[in-house]
Structure 1
Amino acid sequence: MTSPLIDVPALQDRLAAGQRIVLLDVRWVLGDPHGREHYLEGHLPGAVFVDLATELATPAGPSHGRHPLPSLPDFQETARGWGINDGDAVVAYDDSGNMAAARLWWMLRNAGLQDVHLLDGGLAAWRGAGLSVETGPVAAAVGNVTFDASSGGGQMRSIDANGAAGWAATGILLDARAGERYRGEFEPVDPRAGHIPGAVSAPTTANVDGAGRFLPAEALRRRFEGLGITADVPVAVYCGSGVTAAHEVVALEIAGFRAALYPGSFSEWSNNPERPVATGGGPIGDAAASGGSVAL
């Protein structure tokens, strides 16, 4: 299993060796619509800006959630616009602990690309190493990457609302949002507060340290084992709109577990009045439901 992560020294080594690497900046967080402006103020040299809302999602709708996945042909065309060619390595990053960039990692892996990584620690790690940043836009030459359409772009595991409804009966369904949203104490964007019945709270904030770097594999494995996950237990993850749930999929992969993503997530689930919503602690209890990020 190829590591989802690359650190700054390893990226420098690969760049110094002349390897062709496409750098993609996914600067976006909930409540801040100025990701492109932040990118223009400073990004890794040569990095191309990726607009999560328009390039990693299609328009929102009650039946599909706030960030529906684009079709494989549309996503291929977008990736070519970022300059990706067949055989290229891709490194994605953001400035929020890779909470947004993980969405791009999952989508590229789902489309069949294998040499795709997140820059551990993101832009802060690059700057922390004393390396220079570049300002202004980067326009890439159009690439020729061809995505694997043999399974409809389904190289990664995913589930729909029906799958999520029955998942807890035979496996573990993780809710990657902040604990207060899981418990139904606070809901800033979706129509109903609470969580999918049977889901276990596992906020994405517990995947990273104070510098936004993923915890070591051993620490992540202990975390998920404490939530009842073993190699024999099927795991799926959702969040608010399928963005930060991808971050949890990354953390699980680092820990040695493969997980399915529910792309529609709670924004899709809570818009359907026929789907039940639970509030309060849940299977593992309030202790597992701590954490304070607004997961998307």
Structure 2
Amino acid sequence: MIALPTPLVTPSDLQAALAGPDVPVVIDVRYRLGGPPGRPDHDAGHIPGAVFVDLDTELAGAPGAGGRHPLPDPQQLQEVLRRAGVRGGSTVVAHDDGNGSIAARAWWLLRWAGFPADRVAVLDGGWAAWVAQGRPTTAEPSRPVAGDVTVRPGGMPVLDADGAAALAGSGLLLDARAGARYRGETEPVDPRAGHIPGAHNIPTADLVGSDGFWLPPEALAERFEQEGAGDGPIAAYCGSGVTAAALVLGAERAGLRPPEQPVALYVGSWSNWSADPARPVAIGAQP
């Protein structure tokens, strides 16, 4: 079992690991809200050996009352991971072609499925950094040997709407969406605009520098502390429970929470909250 830096791994460290005797599994989760789909980009060029995994159909259940990206069925997720070549002792690295927030969902989901914190990582800088640094790519389809991983759900704390509402009053609830959606100025996807009353806003874009790499731990810690992060409980949500996983990862990287005490995730997020007309909505820049 190879040891890679977690929760983030550099392109150079990943390339070295891929050339070693104990090769990590790389999953490509390129995705854009509203399309186009990421699979054609993967087919045109990817990290050698990487397997494409679809966010909508493989890293989430069917949309419904639980939100747009509810947790997948554990058996379904196990089949997806086995097809990708994930074994019980595998180290898995996820990447996207954006700010890392989609890859963070894969990272979070693997942790939820029972993977130890030291065996799951997100590629820092993602696909853009890999290509910009001239690292190897291929259009040859990856054909991994089927894995044998067993999914054991429950490895990460999750909240429902009532739990999120309660934590907004007793701790720090963070909203990972862009500021305009948090403030209720626009809502392109969900039934109502605004945010959960009491929630603070840390857009996922705030976690990444202009160079596309995640901010260093001390800068991340400062950003979280600006919103009142301390020793009390913290939870995160976003539009559909995907990009909020980046706040969970960011808090861990910042040293605010150790891997064994991660930030909780409201998986249904705004897509679940806003669908219930009985739930209150706050508008504006203030929690």
Q: Which TM class, normalised by the smaller chain length?
A: over 0.9
> Aligned partners of 1:135 and 1:15: how far apart in 2?
17
> Aligned partners of 1:157 and 1:214: how far apart in 2?
24
> Aligned partners of 1:71 and 1:44: how far apart in 2?
28
Map 1:1-296 to 2 at 5 A: 3-61=6-64, 63-114=65-116, 115-148=119-152, 153-230=153-230, 232-256=231-255, 257=257, 258-283=262-287
Deviations 1:68-110 (A, max 9, x none): 1112222112111111011011111011021211111000011
Q: Which amino acid aligns with 2:9?
A: I
Secondary structure in structure 1 of the residue aligned to 2:26: strand
Q: CA deviation at 1:227?
A: 0.8
Deviations 1:99-129 (A, max 9, x none): 2111110000111112011010011111122
Deviations 1:23-76 (A, max 9, x none): 100010112232101111111011000111100111111x21111111222211
Q: CA RMSD in A?
A: 1.2
Deviations 1:184-217 (A, max 9, x none): 0000000000000100011000000123211000
> Aligned partners of 1:211 and 1:191: how far apart in 2?
34
CA contact (8 A) 1:29 1:100 kept: no
Q: CA deviation at 1:3?
A: 2.5
> Aligned partners of 2:144 and 2:92: how far apart in 1?
13
Q: Which amino acid aligns with 1:84?
A: V
Cα 1:26–1:179 change in 2 (3 A) is: same
TM-score of the pair, normalised by structure 2: 0.93
TM-score of the pair, normalised by structure 1: 0.90
- Greater displacement, 6-15 / 98-107: 6-15
Q: Which amino acid aligns with 2:238?
A: C
> Aligned partners of 2:76 and 2:273: how far apart in 1?
25
> Aligned partners of 1:84 and 1:218: how far apart in 2?
33
**Where in structure 1 are there 5+ consecutive unaligned residues?**
284-296
Q: How many residues align?
A: 276
Q: Which amino acid aligns with 1:204?
A: T
Deviations 1:157-209 (A, max 9, x none): 11111101111211000000000101100000000000001000110000001
Identity of aligned residues (%): 53
**Where in structure 2 are there 5+ consecutive unaligned residues?**
none
Q: CA deviation at 1:9?
A: 1.6
Secondary structure in structure 2 of the residue aligned to 1:24: strand
Secondary structure in structure 1 of the residue aligned to 2:92: strand
CA contact (8 A) 2:175 2:238 kept: yes
CA contact (8 A) 2:175 2:202 kept: yes
Secondary structure in structure 2 of the residue aligned to 1:244: coil
Which runs of 4 or more aligned residues in structure 1 lie more than 6 Å from their structure 2 counterparts after TM superposition? none
- Greater displacement, 90-99 / 69-78: 69-78
Q: CA deviation at 1:248?
A: 1.2
Secondary structure in structure 2 of the residue aligned to 1:13: helix
- Greater displacement, 270-279 / 135-144: 135-144
